[in-house]
Amino acid sequence: MKILDWYIFKKFMVTFLFAILTITVIAVVIDTSEKTDDFVKSGLPFSGIITQYYFGFVPFIISMIFPLIVFIAVIFFTSKMAARSETVAILATGIPYHRFLRPYLLGAFLLGGIMLWANAMVIPRANEIYSKFKITYIDKNSSYTSGAGGSRDFYFRSDTITFVGMKYYDTLNKSASNFFLERIDGNQVVYNLRSDYIRWDTATKKWRVENAVERKIDGLVETVVKHPYMEVDLNMKPEELRRDDYLKDKLSSFELYEFIKREETRGTEGLNTYKVEFHRRLATPVSVIILTLMGVFVAARKTRGGSGIQLAFGIVSAASFVIMDKFSTVFSTKGNFPPVLAAWLPNLIFLGVAWFLYKKAPK
């Protein structure tokens, strides 16, 4: 890298760090003022609030605003360079425009790589801390929730043809009552198992039913066998028998991918929320690169009146990006919009905008 590259790269990094720290501090102050009562009711000391809440909240906030802060930071320092005629002087020396973009791309790929790694490993662990505090001290006191335990009845697919149900599941004893299992071939029930009681056997690591009635149906022939106890394979572990609204945020990218594949083999419906989250973690680092280039194309042009117009454009574009991302996510989770397209649509649209701005940028 040349002196000019280091000059732009350092401005990029310093401006970004200043912006992300400033926005994070503001977010923490606002959040603290809103949750003071919850902190007092929790009974935790100051150190406990820091480790059990803000160690999760701060990475969560940074992950939400990361690409937009990169965009605004690029517009801010590049517009300042343009106002001082630095960009004009650089391009007037005969440096090709793509060569001028090199330090920006270096910074974008560096920050994008950090975001990719954080999305896969760091942010899920932070979300686990953040969600645990919310479940323990905030959600249980909310008038919008039905309680910490929620429903204890479970109905799910063990695989594509096997349906399982149980009632009054006890997470402590890992047991439930009114258990049934059915296998369906086409439109016909070919196997039925019912039991008054089921529990997880910690020794064999399998589910065990008691007082079970097993029926095997072959056309008009039905075979009935009673078992005092028997082991069944539900293709599910006890820790999976819980409704966790924060599950998609707490799983690492590898765990999330394995979870989606496992649920697909069971024939589980409503997985679009998890699929959108998985693809969004891959799309966000690319957003950093696209928004960085957009910021350069907008702010490198010297305009009358200073950098106010560029900053205004940056804020409007950032708001448009967020709205577009939310709309596509809702259409996918609540409708039939493909999850891959929902996660990548904002990038595709802004890539087109970036290409248009590149063609119009003074070189």
Per residue in 186-234, pLDDT tens?
Answer: 888 899 999 989 999 888 888 999 999 999 988 888 899 999 989 888 8
Q: What secondary structure does DSSP assign to 145-164, as a single string?
A: SS-SS----EEEESSSSEEE
Q: Check whether 147 has a pLDDT greater than 50.
A: no
Q: Please provide the average confidence, as pLDDT, over all residues in the chain.
A: 85
pTM of the model: 0.77
What's the pLDDT tens digit per position in 291-346?
A: 999 889 888 877 665 566 767 777 787 778 878 888 888 888 777 788 999 889 98
DSSP code for 94 = T
- Rounded Cα distance, 114 and 310, in Å: 27
Beta bridge partners, 198, equal 176, 209
Sheet containing strand 162-170, strands side by side = 154-157, 162-170, 175-185, 188-201, 206-218, 221-232
Strand partners, 155: 165
Instruction: Return the pLDDT at 235.
Output: 81
Domain-wise residue ranges, the chain: 3-142+271-360, 154-240
Contacts of 360 (CB under 8 A, 6+ apart): 297
Task: Find all residues with CB under 8 Å of 204, minimum gap 6, and list them.
Answer: 231
**Helix, strand, or coil (residue 363):** coil
Confidence (pLDDT) at 150: 47
Q: Which burial class, exposed, middle or buried, applies to 25 when counting CB atoms under 10 A from its CB (0-12, 13-18, 19+)?
A: exposed
